Chain A
């Protein structure tokens, strides 16, 4: 499989804090790549560097063969890279359908308003918002707003979807439904880069996982390799002895 997104030697500092340092990885076509790490590891910053919210201090981001480093977010969206936000960002007074129509209008296909309406409806139905089409986004529940984030991103018909903790704050039933939705997105041929704290979910979903700690890549590999990686367990639990115990215990 070919690389869809290539990240090469990315660096970003905020004042004296190095949020991301020398990070490189690729997301392949049709792949689900999990991005995990302890709080403050720089995961969301990586998303912000990829989709142009911040420009990196050093390093390149190439998407679908095009160098998009430092481009504004609205250019990058046009290339077919959509994202959801960890802290939901609904267009509060607009209806669910209009929120999705914005995504469709200004996404990869640059659709006319009439055609965007159909794409928006499709995305809203797909994410289970069909009963809420005319509801103002502000009146959705938190689970509804998370779905809307996803629907809006999907309406853009992207090549790659960046999902930032879409499962956080959902109850087990909602998580199950969301995981199903994410799986069927990939079946449509869309690659996914996902940040998630729910280990069970991300281990089950991802083809590969990149572990971030203090802005650096700690490990990369298949979910089973990551689950048994001592350095990763240490980073999460902080105690090598405890890590060893757990590590031993995890392998019956």
Chain B
């Protein structure tokens, strides 16, 4: 048998990280998010981009399950909400510093996801999707009745908590930069997983789980790891988001419509693509901001996202990136 190792294949995974253009594209996006609002102290732009970082974080991590492994997780928001609750609680009641509370929240939520994952990932298709909704609703019901976390009234942080960060004005910038970092980590995580053996295994599962098993992919373990991994950064984002608001309440923390929006974003951008999840999130956030300014119809973005999802699933199943790859296949060599 002869082998031919010459010539670069699309999606060549052997090039070192630092020599891949996509690595630098992600770096550029992170730098742009950090610098553009900071120049000229543009608070309005910062608030809009802050929501974009949250959407990108949620969508990128959802993509690990939905885009790579092909598992529809309707309850991805539970990671965000629980992360928020744990860190707000640790800061307010236990007096932990922000960084420690954040990492404790991330670790706890990931561990919990691993535990849930090993249980519900035996299910497939619609049954798995239903179970993820069940987890979100179950956790919300639990938190609503959990007195240490304020029950249905939620938890408040006093305004003095911003003092260690140099007062509220400075704290808001710090939180924003941290969210940008979480977003960047999400993009790099998606990229690292996609270009790894683990990612290839997940994508094999996403295509045909039985065939993947016959080829040797340890599907139960891989799915549970992916589920747990996809919980960590959303939990950090939740912690920062609710710390910024200084207030957390069950309906906001476990808002299923945010889960649905994250799914629309992944489908809009293109399932399984990192660029797609990021652009989809940004476009969706802009669209949402535009629609929210019309006061005549509250939450009108949800109507639009429903229609959008329908149109995408019916006519452009590959989403934005699928369409771009179809028209310009060479793009695939640069963007993931």
A interface, CB within 8 angstroms of B: 51, 53, 72-74, 77-78, 82-83, 85, 89-95, 97-98, 101-103, 105-107, 112-114, 116-118, 121-122, 125-126, 130, 133-134, 152, 156
Which 9 pairs between the two chains have the least Cβ-Cβ distance?
A: A106-B216, A77-B216, A89-B211, A91-B207, A73-B213, A113-B197, A102-B204, A74-B218, A73-B214
Given contacts A90-B211, A114-B13, 4 further A-B contacts (CB under 8 A): A74-B215, A105-B201, A113-B195, A125-B3
Which residues of A have CB within 8 Å of B4? 121, 125, 130
- Tell me how many residues of B have a C-beta within 8 Å of chain A: 29
**How far is B197's CA from A114's CA once the two chains are assembled, in angstroms?**
9
Given contacts A91-B208, A92-B207, A94-B207, contact A114 B14 (CB under 8 A): yes
**How far is B217's CA from A105's CA once the two chains are assembled, in angstroms?**
9
Nearest CB in chain A: distance from B7 CB, A? 10
**CB pair A101 B200 closer than 8 Å:** yes
**How far is B195's CA from A118's CA once the two chains are assembled, in angstroms?**
16
Which residues of B have CB within 8 Å of A103? 215-216
Nearest CB in chain B: distance from A130 CB, A? 7
**CB pair B208 A74 closer than 8 Å:** no
**CB pair B218 A91 closer than 8 Å:** no
The 19 sampled A-B contact pairs (Cβ below 8 Å) are A51-B214, A53-B210, A72-B213, A74-B214, A74-B216, A74-B217, A77-B216, A85-B214, A93-B207, A94-B207, A95-B10, A102-B204, A102-B212, A102-B217, A105-B200, A105-B216, A113-B195, A116-B197, A156-B215
**CB pair B3 A74 closer than 8 Å:** no
B208-236 near A? 1/0 per residue, CB < 8 Å? 10111111111100000000000000000
B314 within 8 A of A: no
One of A77, A94, A125 near B214 (C-beta < 8 A)? A77
Which residues of A have CB within 8 Å of B196? 113
B18 within 8 A of A: no
**CB pair A125 B2 closer than 8 Å:** yes
Which residues of A have CB within 8 Å of B215? 74, 77, 82, 102-103, 106-107, 152, 156
**CB pair B11 A83 closer than 8 Å:** no
**How far is B10's CA from A102's CA once the two chains are assembled, in angstroms?**
16
**CB pair A117 B200 closer than 8 Å:** no
For chain B, residues 1 to 28, give those with C-beta under 8 angstroms from any C-beta of chain A.
1-5, 9-11, 13-14
**How far is B211's CA from A224's CA once the two chains are assembled, in angstroms?**
36
**CB pair A133 B9 closer than 8 Å:** yes
Which residues of A have CB within 8 Å of B265? none
**CB pair B200 A97 closer than 8 Å:** no
Given contacts A85-B211, A92-B208, contact A102 B9 (CB under 8 A): no
**How far is B17's CA from A23's CA once the two chains are assembled, in angstroms?**
53
B203 within 8 A of A: yes
Given contacts A102-B217, A117-B13, A122-B1, contact A89 B208 (CB under 8 A): yes
**Which has the most chain B C-beta neighbours within 10 Å: A82, A95, A105?**
A105
Which residues of B have CB within 8 Å of A133? 9
**CB pair B211 A95 closer than 8 Å:** no
Nearest CB in chain A: distance from B219 CB, A? 7
**How far is B207's CA from A73's CA once the two chains are assembled, in angstroms?**
17
**CB pair A112 B197 closer than 8 Å:** yes
Nearest CB in chain B: distance from A136 CB, A? 10
Which residues of A have CB within 8 Å of B214? 51, 53, 73-74, 77, 83, 85, 89
Which residues of A have CB within 8 Å of B204? 91, 94, 102
**How far is B12's CA from A98's CA once the two chains are assembled, in angstroms?**
10
For chain B, residues 41 to 94, give those with C-beta under 8 angstroms from any C-beta of chain A.
none
**How far is B207's CA from A116's CA once the two chains are assembled, in angstroms?**
19
Given contacts A89-B208, A95-B11, contact A118 B217 (CB under 8 A): no
Which residues of B have CB within 8 Å of A117? 13-14
**CB pair A125 B207 closer than 8 Å:** no
Which residues of B have CB within 8 Å of A83? 214
**How far is B304's CA from A46's CA once the two chains are assembled, in angstroms?**
52
Which residues of B have CB within 8 Å of A112? 197
